[in-house]
Amino acid sequence: MAAPRYLDPHVLARLDSMSLLATSIVEGFILGLHRSPFRGFSVEFAEYRQYSPGDEIRHIDWKVFAKTDRYYIKQFEEETNLAATVILDASASMGYGSNPKGLTKLQYGATLAACLTHLMMRQRDAAGLMIFDGKVRTVLPPRLRPAHLKRIMTELDGIEPGGDTDISAPLHQLAESMTRRGMVVLISDLLDDPAKVLSALQHFRFLGHDVLVLQIMDNAELNFPFQSLTEFTDLETGAKSLVAPEGMRPVYMKELTDFLHAFERGCAGIKADYKLLDTGRPVDLALSEYLHRRSQRL
């Protein structure tokens, strides 16, 4: 089988030593570096895995051993550090990319989603995926099974930018459906009303979830490098504007700074982790740096 488009082995090689750490109390076990007030095993069987040194002998399935002469451990659906859901914005604005040889914001975000779900399941966390634009397009609840990871990669591999942006409504919808505290990772350009988006993120925090916000912006959006008279097209409405960059640049940069600061301050206010990512930087370097800095703060 061909490797999923966004699960680049070279990217993962840079990230395999990292752990995505939860900063909140989550439901599950104390495994690795995670913390939880709960103990015990779920009764819902998920799959077998081969015994490894350090596993508790009491969880060996002796009937399987009698048949195969090998030791296997029973795993259960809730035998994870946490349930983590990656939320990917696939609205039309995410389809922008200024570099023909580079990634669009959506491709960059899908790469992040692939890496994060891989890492979560590597460290025994259940990972899920939600894709949205103006409405929810795909929901894959958190699971730990290998087949589930393949399904997530299939969804990411075929993703295309959709319709208008509406971030808050899908987030509120997801928050209402989640019954277990865990981690929520939003990957989006956040081109929406900051007050509405932050209100939706606050909904997750109110329910006890650990919230990470990864804002994806194209390098041209961040630096406005245009020099000559340029026609800009709104990817969601189709509206066109002819702009003289020299006169517009100071106004644009001021609006951009205020916009980014609104999310940075807002996320800090609700105790959500926030990181601005530039599509001009390689995904593996940006994510490795972020995960390292996050681990140092915990």
pLDDT given at position 15: 52
* Burial grade of 105 (CB within 10 A; 0-12, 13-18, 19 or more): buried
pLDDT given at position 99: 86
Residue 275 pLDDT grade (very low, low, confident, very high; cuts 50, 70, 90): very high
Share of the chain above pLDDT 90, in %: 37
Decide the pairing of beta strands 240-243 and 230-233. antiparallel
Nearest 5°: the CA angle 207, 167, 106 is 115
Rg (CA), the chain: 21
Residue 259 pLDDT grade (very low, low, confident, very high; cuts 50, 70, 90): very high
pLDDT tens column, 154-185: 888 878 998 888 899 999 999 999 888 889 99
Return d(Cα 128, Cα 182) in angstroms, integer. Answer: 11
Name the β-bridge partners of 129.
86, 140
Nearest 5°: the CA angle 218, 221, 225 is 110
What structural domains does the chain harbor? 9-24+82-297 (3.40.50.410), 45-76 (no CATH)
**Average pLDDT of span 285-293:** 77
72: Cα separation from own chain's centroid: 32
Return d(Cα 135, Cα 223) in angstroms, integer. Answer: 30
pLDDT given at position 157: 83
pLDDT given at position 256: 95
Q: When comparing pLDDT for 244 and 43, which is higher?
A: 244
Contact residues for 10 (Cβ-Cβ < 8 A; gap 6+): 284
Residue pair 132/170 in contact by the 8 Å Cβ criterion: yes
Residue 26 pLDDT grade (very low, low, confident, very high; cuts 50, 70, 90): very low
Distant-in-sequence contacts of 33-36, Cβ < 8 A, 24+ apart: 33/298, 34/81, 34/82, 36/81, 36/82
Q: How far is CA 51 from CA 29, 149, 156, 176, in A?
A: 19, 21, 32, 38
Residue pair 175/204 in contact by the 8 Å Cβ criterion: yes
Whole-number mean pLDDT of the chain? 79
Which H/E stretch holds residue 107?
helix 105-122
pLDDT tens column, 192-202: 999 999 999 99
Least confident of 21-30, 38-47, 254-263: 21-30
The amino acid present at 69, given as its one-letter code, is: D
**Average pLDDT of span 55-60:** 72
pLDDT tens column, 124-163: 788 999 999 888 999 999 988 888 888 998 888 878 998 8
223: Cα separation from own chain's centroid: 25
